[in-house]
């Protein structure tokens, strides 16, 4: 007798409220690791249309030589620095989604309005709730998300129980010295400070209770912003916090000037960090429950500028990794002969990625009326 039949015989289905998607999801500790590529990644030199003559015409200095590209098929291939991720592609654990952008992009070429739009899934600059927060509308006593860095970004919003931190051990140790405070004030700024202090106290207690002494994992990750962030995330996942979301970041993608060496270094950090992360997750049997996805405020112009760099563009390709995804190439192949005012045409609303994660990964409803992308079964 399976579980459903068992419940039927008990008549439980008529007594219990219908199990909503939320409850089903909460039994499975599936999580998303968001990777922000800060500054606007040049996706044309990340996922490269290396057999397209237009690519070489638009980028006489910056185009990567075809023989250096790691081919993925259909004329697309990876920047050589992405080599550490190639095994995941071959295993069907890497999905590329092309042509993602903000529809009707007006001022969105600005870093600030654009990243705000990506973080909140809204072009209204007054919206303060992050898109993840919008997928999880109910209050939670337990920690729901952690960003490694200076801000909450997509996890922002009062009701979502998220924290930002730099070093997880130091963070947990310091909190124990903080005094309790009242929870409320009519002064909005004081209320914010008090709420933050309360959240710190709760998070500190939870970290102290739950975090395993598995610092050793850190040695398997490269140094630097992303590697250290991913190591902290790995430790929390392996400590069974069962949080639905984590966020890490890697800076400096705003390559207006002298792009080649900097971009190579950044993509190398990205690929090495994520390869280490997937390896650790696999070693501990967690890789099927984790989904990594990148985002960035915009792509960059199709043609290079005069300074061996690229300026702000619009659409871009991003990738997802995970043992539970359907790897492959999704979205519309960039047509460099039919640019939209100098940019790769924007063919997929960025909220489609969020809707896919909401419905197909977290098994929740999506607040956005956009279609899914089938990179998750």
Partner 1 sequence: MQSWQGASPQTVVRRLLAAEPQMPAKPPTLASWGSWENMLEQGEMAQAREQLNRDKMALKQWWLQHLLHTQTPLAERMVMFWHNHFTTSINKVNQPNLVLQQHQLIRQHALGNFRALLHAIARDPAMLIYLDGAMNYKQHPNENFARELLELFTLGSGHYRESDIKAAACAFTGWTVDRNSNRFLLDAQHHAPNTQPFLGKSGVQDGEQALDALLEHPRTAEHIAEKCWYAFVSTESHDQAQTRQWANAFRSSGYDIKTLLESVLLSEAFWAQQHRGVLIKSPLDLLTGVFRALPWPGVAPSELVKYAEKLGQNPFVPPTPKGWEGGKAWITTQSLLDRYGILFQLTRTLPPTPLPVQSAAQIAQWLLATSPVKALTGDSPQQFLLAAMFDPAYQLK
Give whichever of 278 and 346 is closer to partner 1, judged by the CB atom. 346
Out of 44, 47, 88, 165, name the contact with partner 1 by CB under 8 A.
165
The answer to the question of residue 307 lying near partner 1 (CB under 8 A) is yes
103 DSSP 8-state letter:
T
Which residues have a Cβ under 8 Å from the Cβ of 320 and sit 6 or more positions away?
Answer: 94, 95, 97, 291, 292, 293, 294, 375
Stretch binding partner 1 (CB under 8 A), from 16-24, 169-177, 234-242, 361-369: 169-177
Residue pair 160/173 in contact by the 8 Å Cβ criterion: no
Give whichever of 53 and 193 is closer to partner 1, judged by the CB atom. 193
Residues in the chain: 377
The answer to the question of residue 257 lying near partner 1 (CB under 8 A) is yes
164 φ, ψ to 5°? -115, 145
Residue pair 330/373 in contact by the 8 Å Cβ criterion: yes
The answer to the question of residue 22 lying near partner 1 (CB under 8 A) is no
Give the three-state DSSP class for 369: coil
Conformation bin of residue 196: beta by default, left when phi > 0, alpha when psi is -120 to 50:
alpha
> In whole angstroms, how close is the CB of 251 to partner 1 at the nearest point?
10
> In whole angstroms, how close is the CB of 58 to partner 1 at the nearest point?
13
> Using CA atoms, how far apart are residues 317 and 44, in angstroms rounded to an integer?
8
The answer to the question of residue 305 lying near partner 1 (CB under 8 A) is yes
Per rule CB under 8 A, count of chain residues that contact partner 1: 44
The answer to the question of residue 21 lying near partner 1 (CB under 8 A) is no
The answer to the question of residue 164 lying near partner 1 (CB under 8 A) is yes
The answer to the question of residue 182 lying near partner 1 (CB under 8 A) is yes
> Using CA atoms, how far apart are residues 315 and 343, in angstroms rounded to an integer?
7
The answer to the question of residue 125 lying near partner 1 (CB under 8 A) is yes
Give whichever of 309 and 327 is closer to partner 1, judged by the CB atom. 309
The answer to the question of residue 166 lying near partner 1 (CB under 8 A) is yes
Contact track, partner 1, 203-222, x by CB under 8 A: x-------------------
Secondary element (H or E) of residue 72 = strand 70-73
Give whichever of 30 and 38 is closer to partner 1, judged by the CB atom. 38
Residue pair 100/319 in contact by the 8 Å Cβ criterion: no
The answer to the question of residue 306 lying near partner 1 (CB under 8 A) is yes
The answer to the question of residue 171 lying near partner 1 (CB under 8 A) is yes
Residue pair 102/81 in contact by the 8 Å Cβ criterion: no
The answer to the question of residue 243 lying near partner 1 (CB under 8 A) is no
Out of 286, 300, 312, 318, name the contact with partner 1 by CB under 8 A.
312
The answer to the question of residue 239 lying near partner 1 (CB under 8 A) is no
Stretch binding partner 1 (CB under 8 A), from 57-65, 181-189, 226-234, 283-291: 181-189
Could you tell me the end-to-end alpha-carbon distance of the chain, in angstroms, rounded to an integer?
Answer: 27
- Using the CB atoms, write b or e for 160-174: b if 16+ within 10 Å: bbbbbbeebeebbee
The answer to the question of residue 113 lying near partner 1 (CB under 8 A) is yes
275 φ, ψ to 5°? -65, -40
Strands 31-37 and 94-101: unpaired
Cβ neighbours around 90 below 10 Å, total: 11
Give the three-state DSSP class for 344: coil
The answer to the question of residue 188 lying near partner 1 (CB under 8 A) is yes
Contact track, partner 1, 89-108, x by CB under 8 A: -----------------xx-
Binding residues for partner 1, per CB under 8 A?
106-107, 109-113, 125, 150-152, 163-166, 171, 174-175, 177-179, 181-182, 185, 187-190, 192-194, 196-197, 199-200, 203, 256-257, 305-307, 311-312, 341
């Amino acid at each position: 007798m399976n579980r459903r039949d068992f419940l039927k015989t008990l008549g439980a289905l008529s007594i219990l409220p219908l199990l909503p998607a939320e409850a089903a999801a909460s039994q499975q500790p599936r999580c998303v690791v968001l990777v922000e590529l800060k500054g606007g990644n040049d996706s044309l030199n990340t996922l490269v249309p290396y057999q397209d003559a237009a690519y070489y015409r638009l980028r006489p200095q910056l185009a990567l030589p075809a023989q250096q590209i790691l081919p993925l098929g259909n004329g697309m291939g990876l920047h050589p620095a992405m080599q550490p991720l190639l095994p995941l592609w071959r295993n069907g654990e890497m999905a590329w989604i092309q042509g993602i952008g903000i529809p009707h992009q007006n001022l969105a070429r600005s870093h600030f309005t654009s990243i705000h739009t990506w973080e909140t899934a809204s072009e209204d600059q007054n919206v303060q709730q992050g898109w993840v927060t919008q997928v999880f509308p109910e209050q939670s006593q337990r920690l729901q998300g952690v960003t490694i860095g200076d801000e909450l970004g997509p996890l922002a919003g009062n009701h979502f129980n998220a924290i930002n931190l730099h070093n997880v051990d130091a963070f947990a140790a310091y909190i124990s010295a903080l005094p309790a405070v009242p929870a409320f004030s009519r002064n909005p700024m004081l209320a914010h400070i008090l709420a933050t202090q309360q959240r710190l106290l709760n998070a500190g207690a939870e970290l102290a209770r739950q975090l395993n002494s598995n610092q050793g994992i850190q040695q398997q990750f490269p140094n630097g912003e992303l590697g250290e962030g991913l190591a902290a995330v790995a430790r929390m996942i392996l400590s069974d916090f069962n949080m639905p979301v984590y966020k890490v970041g890697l800076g400096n993608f705003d390559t207006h000037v002298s792009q080649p060496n900097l971009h190579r270094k950044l993509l190398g950090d990205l690929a090495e960090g994520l390869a280490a992360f997937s390896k650790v997750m696999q070693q501990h049997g967690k890789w099927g429950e984790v989904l990594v996805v990148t985002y960035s405020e915009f792509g960059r112009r199709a043609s290079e500028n005069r300074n061996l760099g690229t300026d702000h563009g619009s659409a871009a390709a991003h990738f997802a990794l995970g043992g539970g995804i359907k790897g492959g190439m999704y979205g519309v192949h960039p047509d460099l002969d039919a640019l939209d005012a100098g940019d790769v045409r924007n063919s997929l609303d960025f909220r489609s990625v969020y809707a896919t994660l909401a419905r197909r990964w977290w098994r929740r409803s999506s607040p956005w009326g956009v279609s899914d992308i089938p990179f998750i079964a």
